[in-house]
Structure 1
Amino acid sequence: MTRIGWHASHEQIPPGRLLEAARRAQDAGFTVGMSSDHFSPWSARQGHSGFAWSWLGAALATTDLPFRVVTAPGQRYHPAILAQAMATLCEMFPERLWVCLGSGEASNEHITGDRWPPKPERNARLRECVDVIRALLAGEEVTHHGLVTVDRARLWSRPATPPPLIGAAVSEETARWAGGWADGLVTVHRPPATLRRVLDAFREGGGEGRPTVLQVHVSWAPTEDEAMDIAWDQWRSNAFAPPIPWDLETVAHFDEASRFVRPEDVRECVLVSSDLGRHAAWLQELAALGFDEINIHHVGQEQDAFIDAFGRDVLPALA
């Protein structure tokens, strides 16, 4: 059976409220938590961006949920530091963290002042970081000179079981590449036919039998107009296909780029409806593709009513 999780969007909600929402999601029947890891929001309207790794410690300590976090080693995070963060959380909370690794977005990574590399170089850097992180988690002393540099690094506090390193992919090409190194796949909602091709590519690339995770953006409210208003207000700056979201640097850039996004355009990336039965049907269709886990992100800043409504009417339908 597909596990259904709740997504913590640090870009939209302050960390304290987000922690309360995580506990509420567990009580409502969500069985997994997922966390973003951003330095910057996608829009000034969102207005937040707490530090995911501090927050994850609190969320793991105050819920029983396993968590997944989507992060990018190589620029903002040195891979040795990221490995240390993973190791510490996994030592305290064994086998409850999966780390989903992607090549990053300029909006978070440009803060270092380093050059933002083209996509092929970012992928190569990510692959180096994966090897460094795995070696450190295995207890090795690591020295590495390449697109990242590591000098005699060793983790002294390690978990008995290292976390799975899940590959983040949007395209079939990246999913096939991730199949060669990742312990699983995470991707985002698109039309079912597209998702089926991404799953097939991951398996063909070597990922057969490994877990697959889908993140789905939804907007629900008691009326259709409210649900649409929430989606357009909060998520229109995310209504662009790659490479635009990878390469824009500031909230001002995203807000300017989204000036001409119409409300109906947001439906391309957000499942918008006031009908809980329709949301359940959409999620059932996605689960039927074979995902092991679906993490639901309500794109509104107020989470309580969404969590309660989905816990009452949607999660039982999916079970």
Structure 2
Amino acid sequence: MTEYGIHCSHEQIPPAALLEAVVAAERAGFDAAMCSDHFSPWSARQGESAFAWAWLGAALQATNLSFGVVNAPGQRYHPAIIAQAIGTLGAMFPGRFWAALGSGEFSNEHITGGDWPRKEIRNKRLRESVDVIRALLAGEEVTHDGLVTVDRAKLWTRPAEPPPLIGAAVSVETARWVAGWADGMVTVNAPTERLREMIGAYRGVGGRGPVCLQVHLSWAGSETEAEQIAYDQWRSNVFPPPVCWDLELVEHFDVVSEHVTLDQVRSVVNVSADLERHIEWLRGYASLGFDRIYLHHVGQDLGPFIEAFGSKVLPALR
């Protein structure tokens, strides 16, 4: 049976308010939660970007939910540090934490002052980082010289069972590639045929573990308000790769999104004031074979969304 979780957007909501929201989400019937580890938002209107790893410790302690985080090791973070973070949360909260690893976005990674490599180089760096993280979580002493360098690293605090390392993918090609190393796959909502192809590509070459979906949605008491929320908060997020990977600053995202239309926003966000419509969308995603679906209301006030979806949408889906 598909699990339904909540996506916790550090880029839009201050961490204390986000912690209150995820506690409320558990009480409302959500099964799980996830977030992304970014250094900056995609728009000044979003206006936040707290440190996900610090928040995760508080959120895991405050709830009984499982949690995941999307992270990009290799540039802003040394993979040994990510292995230590994963190992610590895994040891403290056994069986409740996973990490999804991806190749990153320049808007987060430029802060270290390094060059932004081509996509194929970023993928090679990611694969090296994954191998380093797995070896450290297995208790090995790791020395590695490549696109990342590791000198005699060893994790002294480790969980009995290493947390799953999930592959983050937004294309069919990447879905096929991550199947070679990942314990599952996570992606974001896209046209139905594209999602079907991605699951097929991942499973078709032996991809194991859960396939997970983050669904961007906007709901409010009226259609106009739902549209206003989506347009205000998410119009800077309509651009497919490589644009979303390669833009550098918040100001750049705001400039390129000045003339984005509401129809473009609707192409990446499920916008409706009708809860039945959201139920139909979510049933459609579940029918594709997603094991976990994380709901991301793109507004900055999660209270009404949590109450409405907890009382009406989740029971209908189950």
Bin the TM-score by the shorter chain: over 0.9
Secondary structure at the counterpart of residue 159 of structure 2: coil
Match of 2:67 in 1: 67
Q: Deviations over 1:125-152 (max 9, x none)?
A: 0000000000000000000000000011
Asked whether the equivalents of residues 280 and 317 of structure 1 are also in contact (C-alpha less than 8 Å), the reply is yes
Q: Within 5 Å, give how 1:23-34 maps onto structure 2.
A: 23-34=23-34
Secondary structure at the counterpart of residue 104 of structure 1: coil
- The answer to whether structure 1 residue 146 and structure 2 residue 134 are counterparts is no
* Matches of 1:129 and 1:104, distance apart in 2: 12
Secondary structure at the counterpart of residue 18 of structure 2: helix
Asked whether the equivalents of residues 22 and 33 of structure 1 are also in contact (C-alpha less than 8 Å), the reply is yes
Match of 2:195 in 1: 195
Q: Deviations over 1:41-79 (max 9, x none)?
A: 000000000000000000000000000111100001100
Match of 1:239 in 2: 238
Aligned AA (1:266): V
Match of 2:78 in 1: 78
Aligned AA (1:188): V
Asked whether the equivalents of residues 26 and 65 of structure 1 are also in contact (C-alpha less than 8 Å), the reply is yes
Q: Within 5 Å, give how 1:7-156 maps onto structure 2.
A: 7-156=7-156
* Matches of 1:214 and 1:103, distance apart in 2: 18
* Matches of 2:206 and 2:287, distance apart in 1: 22
User: Could you tell me the TM-score, scaled by structure 1's length?
Assistant: 0.99
* Matches of 1:146 and 1:206, distance apart in 2: 27
Aligned AA (1:193): E
* Matches of 1:210 and 1:159, distance apart in 2: 19
* Matches of 1:265 and 1:132, distance apart in 2: 40
Q: Deviations over 1:221-257 (max 9, x none)?
A: 0000000000000000001111100000110000001
Deviation at 1:205, TM superposition (A): 2.5
User: Could you tell me the TM-score, scaled by structure 2's length?
Assistant: 0.99
* Matches of 1:26 and 1:210, distance apart in 2: 24
Deviation at 1:291, TM superposition (A): 0.5
Any unmatched runs of 5+ in structure 2?
none
Match of 1:173 in 2: 173
Secondary structure at the counterpart of residue 50 of structure 1: coil
Deviation at 1:264, TM superposition (A): 1.7
Deviation at 1:206, TM superposition (A): 2.2
Aligned AA (1:114): G
* Matches of 2:307 and 2:200, distance apart in 1: 35
Asked whether the equivalents of residues 6 and 30 of structure 1 are also in contact (C-alpha less than 8 Å), the reply is yes
Aligned AA (1:293): R
- The answer to whether structure 1 residue 259 and structure 2 residue 248 are counterparts is no
Any runs of at least 4 consecutive aligned residues in structure 1 with deviations exceeding 3 A, and if so which? Answer: none
* Percent identity over paired residues: 66
Any unmatched runs of 5+ in structure 1?
none
Deviation at 1:265, TM superposition (A): 1.1
Q: In angstroms, what is the RMSD of aligned CA positions? A: 0.6
Deviation at 1:204, TM superposition (A): 1.8
Aligned AA (2:211): T
Secondary structure at the counterpart of residue 289 of structure 2: coil
Asked whether the equivalents of residues 178 and 205 of structure 1 are also in contact (C-alpha less than 8 Å), the reply is no
* Matches of 1:263 and 1:233, distance apart in 2: 10
Aligned AA (1:306): F
Match of 2:277 in 1: 278
* Matches of 2:289 and 2:235, distance apart in 1: 29
Secondary structure at the counterpart of residue 205 of structure 2: helix
Aligned AA (1:131): D
* Matches of 1:90 and 1:178, distance apart in 2: 22
- The answer to whether structure 1 residue 303 and structure 2 residue 302 are counterparts is yes
* Matches of 2:4 and 2:54, distance apart in 1: 24
Aligned AA (2:267): E
Aligned AA (2:47): G
* Matches of 1:156 and 1:45, distance apart in 2: 42
Deviation at 1:210, TM superposition (A): 2.0
